[in-house]
């Protein structure tokens, strides 16, 4: 009966508050969040891919050069830097006719009604400085703890004797049984010791990972090593929970909401094997309430297809000894077996589609698929997210190759639109360095939250080397005009003989690049290509993307 009276009192106070226009704030408190946060996937449009067609040269009394530029459909990209939506679930509201209170104004933010009751905590939670969502946390209470209530607020909170507040969702008038009380006491006594354990001393290890061929340890990952001890503990807990499809993951003491957000997003981006992990950042008191997009049985069925395709790729990878060659096998397989999708869903943003042959993926799907194969090949790889000056988002990889770290962007090396064929692979971003991407891949690993705060996920390693860049590693880089022109003729020969749609080389100066993409040289290359194959109607030269990398690229147009 007392519980009913308290519920009615809270409901009346909250109803009065809603009618007066009171709003709950987004939860950005220190401590553990009260609410669940979801991330919405956004799409990045690639910088315009400018192609130019030069008309046939004709003989007239006064020759006038004309340049007709046509823009091909641009590559479009996507990532998981997220805008989050925070929602608060309030207790069910009930109104009672002719119900009056003696509520006194406790502050400008809520009203209080004095009561005197003894209640119990029904789930681990924190008390708050204020009776509003998002207030700073004060003290952690474990399930079964007895508390003395001195007031009820119109925001759904109870006021404790020490002046702090706990939401009514987390209390009950039912005292814990003797067994529950004993369990709670033991849990309280061991909390400190548990949270000081090493990251490997986790719960949720009863179920083995669903793939027997995947053995990459999260402790070896570059992003994991950038975290502090408590963050590493949470990272380990999330991974182990996801591997066993556990409903919860323990939160170590002392972590704030930004810590939880940061760690979860790093796990989501850099543990590609957990393709059933929800895009929603979980919430909870003491432990995260995990959610998954697939059941274990469903995930196991998908994993069988992934294992088959991965084994085929690894067989090809095993035929090479150099890391550059191994990465080229992975790069080419991801590009040739997938295509860019405009739909940002859990299956397009991971290996669910990327490794099963479904093919439709966004940039996060490209990056995670690339990382998954690198993990199997024993190549250090991480997924990076970023945002450009226009606010568009993107995801790509950084890998370690021979003498340092390099950028590997399979999304932007997969032509989109009219060039999206099974024989067309670009290498503009195959083991590139920071100088090449400085104008395109920006704000690395900084996530913007819906409340305006910015969370730095981790600092990626610098990519300053150039020895492994595709054009240098495969001897397609030139520093003088004659050798560069001869190199382009050789590339046209190779492309035409194999039916490919592009030929490209790299030069070492912008002046040399300008010369080779000029109308004069383009006509020479175009006439040469037509002489080799009567089905060729002309060439398109790539400008916008290729110029950043000093790559001279001509796309071949067939009948």
- The secondary structure of 262-291 as a DSSP string is HHHHHHHHH-TT-TTB-SSBP--SSEEE--
pLDDT, position 451: 73
- Least confident window among 142-146, 298-302, 541-545: 541-545
- Least confident window among 196-210, 316-330, 531-545: 196-210
If you count them, how many residues does the chain have?
559
2-31+93-179 CATH: 2.30.30
- The answer to whether residue 68 scores a pLDDT higher than 80 is no
Dihedral Cα 516, 522, 524, 527, nearest 10 deg:
150
pLDDT, position 56: 58
Confidence band for 422, pLDDT divided at 50, 70 and 90:
low
pLDDT, one tens digit per residue, over 70-80 is 333 333 333 33
Which residues are 539's β-sheet partners? 556
pLDDT, position 470: 97
Instruction: Find, among 373, 377, 378, 381, the residue nearest to 407 by Cα.
Output: 381
Other beta carbons within 10 angstroms of residue 308's beta carbon come to 12
Which two structure tokens, joined as six digits, stand for 343?
């739909």
Non-local (6+) Cβ contacts of 188 within 8 A are 142
Half-sphere exposure of 342 (CA within 13 A, CB side): 5
Cβ contact 277:267 at 8 Å: yes
Cβ contact 95:8 at 8 Å: no
- The answer to whether residue 277 scores a pLDDT higher than 80 is yes
Distance CA 16, CA 14 (A): 5
- Least confident window among 161-165, 166-170, 173-177, 402-406: 173-177
> What are the strands, taking DSSP E only, across 358-479?
360-361, 381-387, 393-401, 404-408, 430-432, 446-448, 454-456, 477-478
- The answer to whether residue 380 scores a pLDDT higher than 80 is yes
Where is pLDDT greater, at 293 or 99?
A: 293
pLDDT, position 552: 96
Where is pLDDT greater, at 343 or 423?
A: 343
Confidence band for 379, pLDDT divided at 50, 70 and 90:
very high
Q: What's the average model confidence in pLDDT over 305-321?
A: 96
pLDDT, position 50: 52
Average pLDDT of the chain is 78
- Least confident window among 92-106, 321-335, 404-418, 447-461: 92-106
- The answer to whether residue 44 scores a pLDDT higher than 80 is no
Distance CA 156, CA 11 (A): 8
Non-local (6+) Cβ contacts of 82 within 8 A are 39, 40, 41, 42, 265, 279, 447
Q: What's the average model confidence in pLDDT over 347-360?
A: 91
For Cα atoms 282, 285, 286, give the angle at the middle one, nearest 5 degrees: 100
Share of the chain above pLDDT 70, in %: 73
pLDDT, position 506: 96
Query: Which ranges in 413-551 belong to alpha helices (H)?
Result: 434-437, 470-473, 481-498, 510-516, 519-532, 544-548
Dihedral Cα 207, 212, 217, 222, nearest 10 deg:
-120
Domain 2-31+93-179 shares a fold with domain 475-559:
no
* Topology of the domain covering 475-559: Ribosomal Protein S8; Chain: A, domain 1 (3.30.1370)
Q: What's the average model confidence in pLDDT over 499-525?
A: 94
Distance CA 8, CA 14 (A): 10
Q: What's the average model confidence in pLDDT over 435-449?
A: 79
Distance CA 443, CA 454 (A): 11
pLDDT, position 240: 96
- Highest mean pLDDT pick, 88-97, 412-421, 429-438: 429-438
Computed from CA positions of residues 171, 173, 174, 175, in that sequence, does the dihedral angle turn out positive or negative?
A: positive
- The answer to whether residue 500 scores a pLDDT higher than 90 is no
Q: Are strands 381-387 and 248-250 parallel, antiparallel or unpaired?
A: unpaired
Share of the chain above pLDDT 90, in %: 47
pLDDT, position 518: 95
- The answer to whether residue 549 scores a pLDDT higher than 80 is yes
Q: What's the average model confidence in pLDDT over 193-213?
A: 53
Q: What's 68's DSSP letter?
A: E
- Cα distances (angstroms) measured from residue 67 to each of 64, 294, 514: 10, 54, 15
- The answer to whether residue 340 scores a pLDDT higher than 80 is yes
Which two structure tokens, joined as six digits, stand for 255?
């972590």
**Per residue in 294-306, is it b (16+ CB within 10 Å) or e — as a string?**
beeeebeebbeeb
Distance CA 386, CA 390 (A): 12
Q: What's the average model confidence in pLDDT over 242-269?
A: 94
Cβ contact 409:397 at 8 Å: yes
| H or E element in which residue 374 lies | helix 363-377
> What are the strands, taking DSSP E only, across 272-392?
287-289, 339-340, 360-361, 381-387
- The answer to whether residue 200 scores a pLDDT higher than 60 is no
pLDDT, position 425: 86
Confidence band for 194, pLDDT divided at 50, 70 and 90:
very low
pLDDT, position 19: 40
- The answer to whether residue 201 scores a pLDDT higher than 90 is no
- The answer to whether residue 231 scores a pLDDT higher than 80 is yes
- The answer to whether residue 432 scores a pLDDT higher than 90 is yes
| H or E element in which residue 232 lies | helix 229-243
> What are the strands, taking DSSP E only, across 200-282?
248-250
Q: What's the average model confidence in pLDDT over 239-264?
A: 94
Query: Which ranges in 397-475 belong to alpha helices (H)?
Result: 434-437, 470-473
For Cα atoms 341, 420, 303, give the angle at the middle one, nearest 5 degrees: 50
Cβ contact 363:79 at 8 Å: yes
Where is pLDDT greater, at 15 or 397?
A: 397
pLDDT, position 52: 61
Distance CA 318, CA 326 (A): 8
Show me where the domains of the chain are located.
Answer: 2-31+93-179, 192-296, 475-559
Confidence band for 7, pLDDT divided at 50, 70 and 90:
low
């Amino acid at each position: 009966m007392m519980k009913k009276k308290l519920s009615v009192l809270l409901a009346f106070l909250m109803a009065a508050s809603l009618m007066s226009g009171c709003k709950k704030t987004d939860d950005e408190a220190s401590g553990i969040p009260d609410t669940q946060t979801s991330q919405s996937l956004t799409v990045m449009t690639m910088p315009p891919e400018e192609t130019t067609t030069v008309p046939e040269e004709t003989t007239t009394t006064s020759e006038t050069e004309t340049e007709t530029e046509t823009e091909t459909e641009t590559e479009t990209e996507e990532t998981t830097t997220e805008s989050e939506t925070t929602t608060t679930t309030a207790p069910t509201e009930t109104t009672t006719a002719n119900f009056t209170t003696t509520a006194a104004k406790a502050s400008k933010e809520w009203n209080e009604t004095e009561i005197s009751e003894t209640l119990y905590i029904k789930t681990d939670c924190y008390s708050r400085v204020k009776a509003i969502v998002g207030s700073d946390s004060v003290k952690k209470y474990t399930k079964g703890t007895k508390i003395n209530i001195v007031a009820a607020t119109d925001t759904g909170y109870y006021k404790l004797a020490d002046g702090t507040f706990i939401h009514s969702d987390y209390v009950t008038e039912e005292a814990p049984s003797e067994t529950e009380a004993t369990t709670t006491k033991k849990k309280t006594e061991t909390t400190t010791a548990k949270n000081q354990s090493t990251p490997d001393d986790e719960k949720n290890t009863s179920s083995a990972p669903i793939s027997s061929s995947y053995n990459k340890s999260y402790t070896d990952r570059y992003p994991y090593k950038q975290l502090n001890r408590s963050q590493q503990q949470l990272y380990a807990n999330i991974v182990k929970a996801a591997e066993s499809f556990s409903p919860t993951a323990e939160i170590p003491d002392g972590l704030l909401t930004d810590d939880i957000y940061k760690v979860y997003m790093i796990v989501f981006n850099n543990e590609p094997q957990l393709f059933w992990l929800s895009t929603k950042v979980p919430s909870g008191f003491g432990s995260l309430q995990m959610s998954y997009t697939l059941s274990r049985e469903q995930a196991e069925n998908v994993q069988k297809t992934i294992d088959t395709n991965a084994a085929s790729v690894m067989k090809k990878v095993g035929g090479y000894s150099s890391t550059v060659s191994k990465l080229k096998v992975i790069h080419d397989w991801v590009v040739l077996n997938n295509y860019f999708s405009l739909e940002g869903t859990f299956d397009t943003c991971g290996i669910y589609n990327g490794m099963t042959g479904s093919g439709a993926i966004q940039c996060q799907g490209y990056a995670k698929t690339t990382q998954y194969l690198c993990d199997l090949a024993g190549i250090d790889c991480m997924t990076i997210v970023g945002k450009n000056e226009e606010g568009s988002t993107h995801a790509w990889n950084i890998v370690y190759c021979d003498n340092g770290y390099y950028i590997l962007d399979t999304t932007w090396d997969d032509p989109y639109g009219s060039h999206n064929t099974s024989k067309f692979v670009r290498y503009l971003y195959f083991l590139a360095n920071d100088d090449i991407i400085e104008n395109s891949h920006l704000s690395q690993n900084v996530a913007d939250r819906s409340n305006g705060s910015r969370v730095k996920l981790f600092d990626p390693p610098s990519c300053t080397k150039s020895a492994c860049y595709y054009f240098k590693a495969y001897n397609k880089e030139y520093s003088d005009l004659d050798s560069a022109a001869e190199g382009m003729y050789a590339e046209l020969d190779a492309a035409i003989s194999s039916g490919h749609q592009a030929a490209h080389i790299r030069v070492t100066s912008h002046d040399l690049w300008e010369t080779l993409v000029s109308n004069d040289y383009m006509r020479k290359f175009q006439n040469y290509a037509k002489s080799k194959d009567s089905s060729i109607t002309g060439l398109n030269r790539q400008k916008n993307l290729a110029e950043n990398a000093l790559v001279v690229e001509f796309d071949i147009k067939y009948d």
